[in-house]
Structure 1
């Protein structure tokens, strides 16, 4: 049975969760200055030590910033951060099949944007980074780098964030799927086909190359999941 230990959240954790919820609901907005520590501790009904622990957590997670001799402020880009957090939490609950479906849709659009927006120099840099690794971990890192460089060349921050999140989530199975040298050679060929189509500014060829690559990734991942 999958039984999880019962635990009681610390008071500081409860403050952190409540403040993040207040940010989500708009009760705390970007750039808002928080009350001083004494007043805030009183409002939460806790000691200053517990409050400081909560504020330290929020600062470490990037939700707030502290200015010496001035005060504590909600980060200016808090809504963007909260949106990314929500997307990341959603992605963590998906299956590999869900992730592959979503990634395929994004990468088809992504290569279009690369062709439209990237300079010849940026595309050349992507091609220069191609190659075949001699072990699974290096191949996984190269695969991540190639798709991240495509996302970067698309000039779309969401594409970049998704690629990073995706590779964080599939690291274990991706490394396993790259154990075979034959598959590593195939990956290099698939990446080269995508890059060449982009270099030629051929959207249809680029999308077909992406579809083929994703089909092979899907086939490999499904095979690994069954082991």
Structure 2
């Protein structure tokens, strides 16, 4: 267990992040026993209360299990706990949001292509509705993060892949936080709302025409621009 000394104001979050990274990279596996609070606090050179708070947070989202009299153990990772890990990662730093944007490019670009091939009239109505809501948000000066999420989710639904829909549903809460944060930053640049709407309109038109290549390209442009815009500064 190669923990590193903590040097940050949000100490418990850093502890949580280190544990999460160890699980992701395979340094910690289900069933492994973590160090006792006092021993870990000494190793990390932090207060015991910070370790206790980190352990409680990890237990609350189902990552670890605290067994009185036995110790603290890594739990078997189910879909819910992995979703919570993604959510926690997004909340702990800029790089994690960038990683989620990368994940969305990997998933949603191909989803748009599938939607262009498989969409029904009802699917197009749902995408159109979300696009109309986005346009109204822009006219009212709102961020439009909620309508943006509905737009992208409707496209994934139009791909008619049950596993894709489950994946998007599982990270929907995380996407809400990400979308708000990203749009809040992007909107500081003049002309961004109109550009974003045009990008989404292009995606809609490509799917409506049944052009998977154009749908793939326009979705990539939208998500890539969001990623680049967020990473500036």
Bin for the TM-score computed over the shorter chain: 0.5 to 0.7
SS of the residue corresponding to residue 129 of structure 1 reads helix
1:108 deviation in Å? Answer: 1.4
**2:223 is matched with which residue: 211, 214, 225?**
214
1:17 deviation in Å? Answer: 3.7
Say whether the 8 Å CA contact 1:122–1:153 is kept in structure 2.
yes
Q: What are the equivalent positions in structure 2 for 1:3-82 lying under 5 Å apart?
A: 3=9, 4=11, 6-7=48-49, 9=52, 17=59, 20=62, 82=78
The residue aligned with 1:98 is 99
**1:196 is matched with which residue: 193, 201, 205?**
205
The residue aligned with 2:119 is 118
Count of residue pairs brought into register by the alignment: 169
The residue aligned with 1:2 is 8
1:22 deviation in Å? Answer: 8.9
The residue aligned with 2:84 is 88
Say whether the 8 Å CA contact 2:115–2:159 is kept in structure 1.
yes
1:101 deviation in Å? Answer: 1.6
User: Residues of 2 paired with 1:9 and 1:164: CA distance?
Assistant: 26
1:170 deviation in Å? Answer: 4.7
Q: Which has the larger radius of gyration?
A: 1
Normalised to the residue count of structure 1, the TM-score between the two structures is 0.60
Say whether the 8 Å CA contact 2:105–2:224 is kept in structure 1.
no
1:88 deviation in Å? Answer: 3.4
Stretches of structure 2 lacking an aligned partner (at least 5 in a row): 1-6, 12-46, 70-75, 90-94
Once the two structures are overlaid, the 10-residue window that deviates more, 194-203 or 173-182, is 173-182
Structure 1 residues 163, 207: CA separation in 2 closer, same or farther (over 3 Å shift)? farther
1:167 aligns with 2:176: yes
User: Residues of 1 paired with 2:142 and 2:84: CA distance?
Assistant: 23
User: Residues of 2 paired with 1:128 and 1:167: CA distance?
Assistant: 18
Normalised to the residue count of structure 2, the TM-score between the two structures is 0.58
**1:185 is matched with which residue: 178, 194, 205?**
194
Structure 1 residues 134, 203: CA separation in 2 closer, same or farther (over 3 Å shift)? same
1:210 deviation in Å? Answer: 0.8
SS of the residue corresponding to residue 175 of structure 2 reads helix
Say whether the 8 Å CA contact 1:139–1:178 is kept in structure 2.
no
SS of the residue corresponding to residue 210 of structure 2 reads coil
Say whether the 8 Å CA contact 1:136–1:176 is kept in structure 2.
no
Say whether the 8 Å CA contact 1:106–1:159 is kept in structure 2.
no
Say whether the 8 Å CA contact 2:117–2:212 is kept in structure 1.
no
Once the two structures are overlaid, the 10-residue window that deviates more, 210-219 or 172-181, is 172-181
The residue aligned with 2:152 is 147
SS of the residue corresponding to residue 196 of structure 2 reads helix
1:183 deviation in Å? Answer: 0.8
User: Residues of 1 paired with 2:223 and 2:182: CA distance?
Assistant: 15
Stretches of structure 1 lacking an aligned partner (at least 5 in a row): 24-42, 46-78
